[in-house]
Structure 1
Amino acid sequence: MTFNFLTPVSDEVLSDNEFLSPQALGTKMRIHSEADGLPDLEGVKIAIIGVLENRNDVNYSGSEVRLEHIRKVFYGLFPGNWHTAMADLGDIRQGDSVEDTYFALRTTIAVLLEKQIIPIILGGSQDLTYPNYRAYDSVLPMVNIVSVDCNFDLGDSSLPMKNNSYLGKIILEQPYNLFNYSTIGYQTYFNSQEEIDLMEKLYFEAYRLGEISKSINVVEPVMRDAHIVSVDLKAVKASEVSTEQRYSPNGLDGKEICAIARYAGISNKVSSFGIYEYQHSQDDHGTAMLVAQMLWYFVEGVNCRIKEDPLNDDVNYQKFNVLIDDDELIFYKSIKTGRWWIEIPFLPEVNNKLKKHTLLPCMHDDYIEATQGKIPERWYKAYKKNSF
């Protein structure tokens, strides 16, 4: 299968590469160009894909998605002490219909996943998360999605899908492959009480902006359990971005969104990462730089990944058993990294989604609370979902 849907990175972007330092990212990446065609992907770990689709934006007014500025800024950054090969595969342009674009993106991501290459998707409206999710249909039996967003994007599932209702489509459409959905940085006044109640009823996880700003490290275990990470730039506060991009005076700041991107990169499970709702404008240098730095931190995180498997390694992990009423909670702590997990038991008598004992990433605070007789909320929600 070739990448038939991809068009080359523009000559406008590539011409700037001639003036970059030999150490800059733009001189080290394999880039899809008009002159040389698609690059060889042998050994490539991360591939950038632009998706120029925004027709399902509820505020769509005919504006085009343009990603040249992001690429120029990202290419000009210097890599860290990285060993990961990267490629920029160019753009998926709008199809005759939005569904055509979805098909192109789903097909392209599926091929990359088969090659064990992590796609970074630059969009475009956030409904592109839906074809990203559908690309996993033949890859994983159950998928966890983390959305960095001020909204839940549940919407009205009886209406055609838009960028504020793609989650409803994911939940209700067969095959049902979604196990967990987590929202990071939501703001209550942008979400109806019905949506908040539904998130709770489905045992999905939701972390308010204030909770994230108070302690950014609560994001780490959530990301460690994610397969797909979808970032809506509307989650970033207005003072951090250009005029066209501004949405709300409250939101994540530049350091927080970059830390979240790094946590996503460090996660061994995250196999696709998308940044959506980019609005190009003449004064967008700040926004383009922020997106480029988010990409940089995600790649930095990928380069810092450490494979860990407490269930199959008795040497490098400590095991802790905690009794709470009739429940025995089993925790594991990595001696190497200090990271924690809690075991979710296999339930043979129910329609078990996990099919086996599995580990849920958690924090040291969850263990401390368990020793004080409190069941961790993440464990409770995962257990209840597994009992459906």
Structure 2
Amino acid sequence: MAFDFFQPLDAGFLDYIQGLSPQTLGKKVVFHTDTEFPALENVSIAIIGVLENRGLTSNNFEVDITHIRKEFYSLFPGNWPTQIVDLGNVVAGNSLEDTNYVLKTAITHLVKNNIVPVVIGGSQDLTYAMYRAYDQLEQMVNVVSIDSKFDFAKEVSLPAHSYLTKMIVEEPNNLFNYSNIGYQTYYNSQEEIDLIEKLYFDAYRLGEVCNNPAVAEPVFRDADLVTLDLLSVKSSDSGNFTTFVPNGFSGKEICALSRYAGISDKVTSFGIFNHENSQQESVLIAQILWYFVEGFHYRSNEYPFGTKENYIKYIVTLEDELIFYKSNITERWWIEIPFLTNGSNKLKKATLLPCVQEDYLAACGGEIPDRWWKAQRKNII
């Protein structure tokens, strides 16, 4: 079974949950205990802890997410019908590959059953295991990383700094698009920045997103997997002073991005990584989780189309015919990536790419939207 190697939550933690107010999240979640594994019927979200940090440091200090769980489950939920289970922990295996295999197998099972896994690590190279979980789902995968770095590094000894390279070069190659939210230029070589452009990936600088967080919303709307590096948050807001981060997202901004991830109809897995086991940081992580769940509750199920009657179709004729759709319900926009009958396509059918109204207005002014052009190039390469 996919969850045979999951460790149940310990008695001390469960005693803490028993002492919480009846209105808290902890009283509405079903936990993996020594005597019972949660039933997965009608479940929407599954929390998974991964006690693995070998991808970030050779010291392999013990990962402990008990503080995060206590902070999260002591919060009060909104008016959510969302059913949440906590599946306990994946403990570090004999090798990093063993841990990755257990996590990959579990996520494949959950996603196949329309359950969104929320993974709390551990080092960020666990993103690679989450990505590989989609191999059996026979689909191209869009990955969004909230991170100050691209993680293209060549140091094999630190997989957390090089997992993206593995995703690009290793077979099967299911990666359709990678998007970075919040990179800081001085942490990335010009070679890496050029490679992002050459592969037609998307990257948004920290200042660009901080000035207008809504620019990231269409990016999350097209994501399958979202991964969040806690080192993208400045230390004054995260409480992490072990690895000092002078510049980064504020607590408010990172929670807004988490909510965008949750509200996306397409996101099927979410991971939070590279925390420092501190009590202070646990408070922020708990709120990041809370906003993801709140966003999930407000999903509008607009992707793919429910019925086209709820959309207005706009056609703009340039060198290519650009087809836009606007939702009558949420007023969000999409642009169609066509299926090319006279060439090879990575995408097996015409696909809708999330965009913003400004893309439509730019097309009306004779300018092909950059996001459409990049997606078209990725589709035929």
CA RMSD of aligned residues (A): 1.4
Aligned to 1:376: 369
Q: Provide, for residues 185-217 of structure 1, a one-character-per-residue CA deviation record: whole Å limited to 9, x for no partner.
A: 000000000000001000000000011001101
Q: 1:296 aligns with which of 287, 290, 301?
A: 290
* Structure 1 residue matching 2:26: 3-state secondary structure: helix
> Is contact 2:47–2:117 with CA below 8 Å preserved after alignment?
yes
User: Is 1:3–2:3 an aligned residue pair?
Assistant: yes
> Is contact 2:2–2:102 with CA below 8 Å preserved after alignment?
no
- In 1, distance between residues paired with 2:304 and 2:77? 32
User: Is 1:272–2:265 an aligned residue pair?
Assistant: no
- In 1, distance between residues paired with 2:358 and 2:215? 10
- In 2, distance between residues paired with 1:247 and 1:385? 37
* Structure 2 residue matching 1:182: 3-state secondary structure: strand
- In 1, distance between residues paired with 2:284 and 2:39? 29
Unaligned runs of at least 5 residues, structure 2: none
- Which amino acid in structure 1 is aligned with residue 53 of structure 2? N
- In 1, distance between residues paired with 2:105 and 2:305? 34
* Structure 2 residue matching 1:381: 3-state secondary structure: helix
- In 2, distance between residues paired with 1:246 and 1:155? 19
Q: Give the TM-score normalised by the residue count of structure 1.
A: 0.95
CA distance 1:378–1:264, shift in 2 (3 Å): same
* Structure 2 residue matching 1:218: 3-state secondary structure: helix
- In 2, distance between residues paired with 1:317 and 1:203? 29
- In 2, distance between residues paired with 1:4 and 1:348? 46
* Structure 2 residue matching 1:163: 3-state secondary structure: helix
Q: How does 1:199-238 map to 2 (within 5 A)?
A: 199-238=196-235
Deviation (angstroms), 1:32: 0.7
Q: Provide, for residues 223-260 of structure 1, a one-character-per-residue CA deviation record: whole Å limited to 9, x for no partner.
A: 11000000000100111122445432110111111111
Q: Provide, for residues 49-83 of structure 1, a one-character-per-residue CA deviation record: whole Å limited to 9, x for no partner.
A: 000001111x4433111000000001100010101
Aligned to 1:248: 245
Deviation (angstroms), 1:314: 3.4
> Is contact 1:182–1:222 with CA below 8 Å preserved after alignment?
yes
* Structure 2 residue matching 1:305: 3-state secondary structure: coil
Q: Provide, for residues 159-207 of structure 1, a one-character-per-residue CA deviation record: whole Å limited to 9, x for no partner.
A: 3561010000010000010000000000000000000000100000000
- In 1, distance between residues paired with 2:328 and 2:80? 25
The more displaced of 333-342 and 4-13 is 4-13
Aligned length: 381
- In 2, distance between residues paired with 1:318 and 1:161? 49
Q: How does 1:1-388 map to 2 (within 5 A)?
A: 1-34=1-34, 36-57=35-56, 59-156=57-154, 159=156, 162-281=159-278, 284-285=279-280, 287-308=281-302, 313-324=307-318, 326-388=319-381
CA distance 1:40–1:311, shift in 2 (3 Å): closer
- In 2, distance between residues paired with 1:70 and 1:189? 31
- Which amino acid in structure 2 is aligned with residue 226 of structure 1? A
Q: Give the TM-score normalised by the residue count of structure 2.
A: 0.97
- Identity across the alignment (%): 54
- In 2, distance between residues paired with 1:215 and 1:110? 34
> Is contact 1:310–1:332 with CA below 8 Å preserved after alignment?
no
Deviation (angstroms), 1:311: 5.8
- Which amino acid in structure 2 is aligned with residue 87 of structure 1? V
- Which amino acid in structure 1 is aligned with residue 21 of structure 2? S
* Structure 2 residue matching 1:301: 3-state secondary structure: helix
- Which amino acid in structure 1 is aligned with residue 296 of structure 2? V
CA distance 1:120–1:198, shift in 2 (3 Å): same
- In 2, distance between residues paired with 1:62 and 1:45? 32
Unaligned runs of at least 5 residues, structure 1: none
Deviation (angstroms), 1:114: 2.0
Deviation (angstroms), 1:310: 7.2
CA distance 1:309–1:274, shift in 2 (3 Å): closer
> Is contact 1:161–1:169 with CA below 8 Å preserved after alignment?
no
> Is contact 1:46–1:118 with CA below 8 Å preserved after alignment?
yes
- In 2, distance between residues paired with 1:45 and 1:312? 20
- Which amino acid in structure 2 is aligned with residue 249 of structure 1? P
- Which amino acid in structure 2 is aligned with residue 45 of structure 1? S
Deviation (angstroms), 1:309: 5.0
- Which amino acid in structure 2 is aligned with residue 185 of structure 1? G
